[in-house]
Structure formats: structure tokens, C-alpha cells
Amino acid sequence: MPTSMPDIANHTTAQTEGALDWVGMSKIEMPIMLASKGENDRMVSTHIDAFVNLKDPQAKGIHMSRLYLILDELSTSNTLSYQTLVSVLDSFVSSHDDLSDQAKVEFNFEYHLRRKSLISGKEGWKAYPVKLTGLLNQGKLTIELSVEVRYSSTCPCSAALSRQLIQQAFQQKFSGSEQVALNDVHEWLGTSEGIVATPHSQRSIAEVKVKLNNSLNEFPITELVNLLEDALQTPVQAAVKREDEQEFARLNGQNLMFCEDAARRVQHCLNQNEQYDDFWLRINHLESLHAHDAVSITTKGISGGYQP
Ligand SMILES: Nc1nc2c(ncn2[C@@H]2O[C@H](COP(=O)(O)OP(=O)(O)OP(=O)(O)O)[C@@H](O)[C@H]2O)c(=O)[nH]1
């Protein structure tokens, strides 16, 4: 490097002094080889946020290029795992010895999983938005995993109101007769006059963030997705034949959910799981009855933990 190049970060001081909580870069685009528990390592297309604190109030700035190059080395020569995420954070701090004692890195990407259809035995891809976050605060390490799971929620109130309309239609149709023939009822139930009303359902999104226990050394992405989809029972589907669609209708009918119900199901499952020291969740029902969404938010509720 030519010696005459000015080095603002090193050789000037701040015009106005002040320590800063986070300084760094957002949405760095990099392909990253990712190790995830139970899956083959694979390349994911990430957007990375990388930060250190600036604890020296007089220092002009941090060295952005050092953070970038640490990530570039991860991208070109390594695999993102629990261990390498910790190394990245250590390197962020050690590359800024006098300036920083905290580091944060967030990897945002879509993680594709093969998902089985409900009945037909077909398979298809689903893409799950995932965020892996590492935080190093004066030697204290926190690793978080966030995922989003999309599912269908059918309104329990609308289902009850629809059942009432079906009962009324039944009464109207058969009220004159002393006895009703089984076949007549069976046939009538198969018509659109029989099922005169259907409850509304909505595309719904569970956003979940978990703090990984220190004893974990792998990212449990697939496990967390499975846990959430098992709790909710009505995840959106990939490959769908008619038998799968019918089973989906049955599952929707058997799992009627307000956003409160969905939040409690997820809360219950996460509370049972000891791998997660803390959790935060937000349930979004993108209403079809309303133009606005129904939302519920909760946390594990531990002292000093996530805030709703
Ligand atoms: N600190 C800081 N740097 C910025 C910002 N925007 C762009 N940069 C640029 O980031 C580049 C890299 O900075 P450094 O890491 O200090 O680069 P360098 O001096 O060649 O690297 P070292 O020799 O390792 O210090 C510089 O060219 C800065 O101008 C900003 O808002 N803050």
C-alpha cells in the first residue's frame, strides 16, 4: 500500500466526541456455507449485518474493512457453524483492540427444506426465512436463532357461525318431515345448499426467536421449524394432490385458531424445550375478514430476558 495514503480512521479524532453502541455495516451480500444440525452443509445466500461498539469517544471511526474481510474469509474458506460464529465475533473484537469490546453479527437468509405432503407421499421445497445472530458483550456470548413459519389459521368464531347457518339450513330443508332418510341427509350434505357457509381462514406467520443454550454446538434450524409446525398443525404445503388438500381442510377444521390460540400452542412447546434459554414469539394472522392483522406477542418471561 502506498505510504502516502491518508488514514482518517487512525490519524484523526472525532469532531464531536462520544462513545457509540454499534457501528458497522448492514446487508452485506455473501454466499455462506452453512452447517445446520441434521442437514448436509449447504450454500445459502446471506445478507449480513456486522457491528462493533466504539468505546473510545475520541476515535474517528471503526475499521469497516476489517469486519468485511473477516466475513469474506468465512465465506470463501470456511463453514458457518456455532464455533465459527463465535470465532467471527472474537475476531471482530480483536481486530479493534482499543476501540471495541462488543461485537454483533446477523446472518439473514432463506433456508430451504424438503417437506412431505400430508397424504400422497409427494415432496416439495419450502423456504424458511432464518436469522442467526451472535452477540459478544465483554466476553459474554449470546447466540440466537430466528425463524418464520407460515401456516393457515381458521377462525373459531367464524366456524361456529357457519355451523349455525348449516343447522338453520338443515331445519328449513327437513322441518316438515316426521322422519328423515339417512340417504337424503347424506346427499343434501354433499351439496352447496347443505354446507351453506364456510369459515374464513388466513395465511398466518409465526415469527420465533430463541436463545440457544451454551451446551448446544449446532444450529437446530430444522428441529425448530418442525417443532413450530407440529405445534400449529396447519403449515402451508408444498406439493399438494387432492387427497392432501382434503387432509389440509380436515386439519384446518380440527385446529381452529385465534392468534391467541396459536401463540399459546407455540409458547407451550417452547417452554417444554430445554435447548432454548429464552424465547420471543409474534403471531401474525393476516386476516381475511379484516384489512388489518390479528397479532399476539409473548416471551418466556424470564427476568432480564426478552421483552415483548
Ligand atoms: N469508519 C467508517 N468507515 C467508512 C464509513 N463509510 C465508508 N467507510 C470506509 O471504509 C473504508 C475502510 O476503512 P478501514 O477499515 O479503516 O480501512 P484501512 O485503513 O485501509 O484498513 P486498516 O489498515 O485495517 O485500518 C475506508 O475507506 C472508509 O472510508 C463510515 O461511515 N465509517
* CA distances from residue 98 to 6, 23, 35, 59, 208 in whole angstroms, order as listed: 20, 15, 33, 9, 36
72 CA to middle of ligand 1, Å? Answer: 16
Asked whether 173 and 241 are in contact (CB, 8 A), the reply is no
25 lies in the same domain as 118: yes
Q: How far does CA 106 lie from the centroid of its chain?
A: 14
Q: What is the mean pLDDT of residues 37-46?
A: 97
pLDDT range class, residue 213, cuts 50, 70, 90:
confident
**206/58 same-domain check:** yes
Please give the ipTM for the structure prediction. 0.89
In a domain, 22, yes or no: yes
101-155 pLDDT per residue, tens: 999 999 999 999 999 999 999 999 999 999 999 999 988 999 999 999 999 999 9
pLDDT surpassing 80 at residue 230: yes
61 CB near ligand 1 (under 6 Å): yes
In-domain check, residue 51: yes
One domain, residues 93 and 46: yes
Phi then psi dihedrals of residue 172, to 5 deg = -60, -45
Predicted pLDDT of residue 4: 76
- Averaged over 26-41, what is the pLDDT? 97
My answer on whether 275 and 166 are in the same domain is no
* Planar angle of CA 138, 307, 71, nearest 5 degrees: 45
What pLDDT is stored for residue 1 in this prediction?
57
Q: Looking at residues 69-92, what average pLDDT do you find?
A: 97
Q: Which three three-digit cell numbers place residue 42?
A: 449447504
pLDDT at 162: 97
Counting atoms of ligand 1 from 1, which one is nearest the CA of 1? 20
Position in ligand 1 atom list of the atom nearest CA 7: 19
Distance between Cα 39 and ligand 1 center (Å): 38
Together in a domain, 104 and 83: yes
Range of the domain at 34: 18-155+200-299
- Is there a single domain that holds both residue 63 and residue 143? yes
Q: Do 130 and 204 fall into the same domain?
A: yes
C-alpha–C-alpha distance, residues 185 and 225, integer Å = 42
Q: What pLDDT shows up at residue 203?
A: 97
Residues in the chain, total: 308
Q: Is residue 179 part of a domain?
A: no
Could you tell me if residue 10 is inside a domain?
A: no
How many domains is the chain built from?
2
Question: Which of ligand 1's atoms lies nearest the C-alpha of 60?
Answer: 1
Residue 3 has pLDDT above 70, yes or no: no
Same domain, 169 and 248: no
Residue type, 242: R
Query: Cell 416439495 sits at which residue?
Result: 124
Q: What is the mean pLDDT of residues 240-269?
A: 98
pLDDT in tens, 190-211: 999 999 999 999 999 999 999 9
User: Could you tell me if residue 245 is inside a domain?
Assistant: yes
The answer as to whether 4 is a domain residue is no
Pocket residue to mutate for ligand 1, from 7, 15, 65, most atoms within 8 A of Cβ: 65
**Shared-domain flag, residues 190 and 208:** no
| 63 and 208 assigned to the same domain | yes
> 3, 28, 63: which to mutate for ligand 1, most atoms within 8 A of CB?
63
CA 113/CA 101 separation, integer angstroms: 37
The backbone torsions φ and ψ at residue 152, rounded to the nearest 5 degrees and listed phi first, read -110, 135
Nearest one of 212, 170, 183 to 82, comparing CA atoms: 212
Predicted confidence band at 186 (pLDDT cuts at 50, 70, 90)?
very high
* Residues 282 and 208 grouped into a single domain: yes
Question: Looking at the predicted structure, is the pLDDT value of residue 15 above 90?
Answer: no
**Three-state secondary structure string covering 32-67:** EEECCCCCCCEEEEEEEEEEEEECCCCECCCCHHHH
The per-residue pLDDT of the chain, averaged, comes to: 95
141, β-bridge pairs: 136
